[in-house]
Amino acid sequence: MRKTRTIKATLKSKPARNAAAKRAENAKRGSHLRGSVAIALLGTKFMGRAHSIAWANAPKFFDLPLQIEMAWVAGRAAADTHEFGRRWGWRGSTIDWREAIANPAVQLVDIATPNHVHREMALAALAAGRHVACEKPLAGTLKDAREMRDAARRAAKMGVHTFVWFNYRRAPAIALAHTLVQQGRIGRIFHIRAAYLQDWGGAATPLAWRFQSELAGSGAHGDLNAHCIDLARFISGEEVAEVVGAVEETFIKERMRVAGDGAAISGKGASKRRARMGRSTVDDCVLFLARMSGGAVASFESTRLATGNKNRNCIEINGELGSIRFNFERMNELEFWDNTLAEARRGWTSILCTEASHPYVKNYWPAGHLIGYEHGFVSQAADIVGVLGGGSAEVAIPDFEDAWKTQCVLEAAIQSARRRGPVAVAEIE
């Protein structure tokens, strides 16, 4: 078997600090990347695969201003990382993410790792003048997220971009819902109810990193409610002003310790030899009620124990003139109620969002030919490259500043649950 290729073996002689200085000078002139963008991916598990598909396929579906170079992937085990790079199309691999960031050829660092290392990786990348795309939530803790936000603010003055992978914004049905609300089609908003329901977190699920607070920060809350909060903010155009009350619960107190996390999100495939039980230190579910900045009231729920729900990321928004609702398990459809119609004609309309006039669809298949989970990542990769090339995203991409606002709501909900009382989001910020 070929040896794992490392960054060190192919570093260019030009010092990284000179590359950062050049980017700073370019920022002052208001220039953007030209020709190509070289990417270093940090992380090789579930999200590493999703991001790899995105970078490989974005130029196949979209006309991009820059050529994508899948330059480096960084993982933990040399042999596994090498095989990941070979299989998913990365030119080189390393087990030292710092080397990947230090390589002056790298222009964009993509962080697809467990939450506890987001801060260290992002801060190092931004200090080196690299653009950064980071998985959600922004960080495992509010303190880490604040440091990332502050570093991004400083880097932005030098022309450095940050992006966060809230991929569901790029589902055509969600993007259409955003458009309808912003056009005033549902009028004044009264209610928002969002829930993200999964069922893979039962007692047989091992103690993977997602169940360890020192690695994940939180459980279903940070993993799933982060999406709910982002979608509510994005579609409605309103901010969460106050968490009125919340419930945080861990049903499965102990889980089986295993060797490695396995390949699946649930830890399936991890070795159970000589397994011992360990304590789960994150929530299994969090529910909270909130008030929005525009006067609407909202409910949010996330759980990994909603038996029968595989990936039910759903949101419904009720307004004076109409309503919209969405369920990711039927991701190509948006339901719309038009209350301005004559009473006899009112009813839920299911819109199949596969027409070329729907967001992103023109880049994929003919009408009626459905897209899937991976296409949200492909569309976001295309939008990131478009921004780096001097253009704009078809749908707004959250940056660290935007994702910080979602992080504050996550924190407010947890504090509300533990205080057993209301928490204004402004207290957190």
> What pLDDT score was predicted for residue 237?
98
Would the pLDDT of 78 be above 50?
Answer: yes
Question: Which has the minimum average pLDDT: 198-207, 263-272, 390-399?
Answer: 263-272
Q: 400 near 147, Cβ under 8 Å?
A: no
> What pLDDT score was predicted for residue 9?
34
| Distance, CA of 85 to CA of 191 (rounded, Å) | 46
Where are the chain's structural domains? Answer: 8-165, 169-369+393-424
Confidence of residue 408 (pLDDT cuts 50, 70, 90): very high
Decide yes or no: CATH 3.40.50.720 for domain 169-369+393-424: no
Percentage of the chain beyond pLDDT 90 is: 86
Would the pLDDT of 3 be above 60?
Answer: no
Confidence of residue 262 (pLDDT cuts 50, 70, 90): low
The model's pTM: 0.90
Would the pLDDT of 1 be above 90?
Answer: no
Confidence of residue 5 (pLDDT cuts 50, 70, 90): very low
| Distance, CA of 145 to CA of 125 (rounded, Å) | 15
> What pLDDT score was predicted for residue 258?
80
- Of 3.10.20.600, 3.40.50.720, 3.90.1010.10, 3.40.50.2300, the CATH number of 8-165 is 3.40.50.720
Percentage of the chain beyond pLDDT 70 is: 89
Residue 407: phi and psi, rounded to 5, are -60, -40
What is the average pLDDT across 94-122? Answer: 97
Confidence of residue 96 (pLDDT cuts 50, 70, 90): very high
Q: How far is CA 125 from CA 17, 38, 106, 144, in A?
A: 12, 14, 10, 15
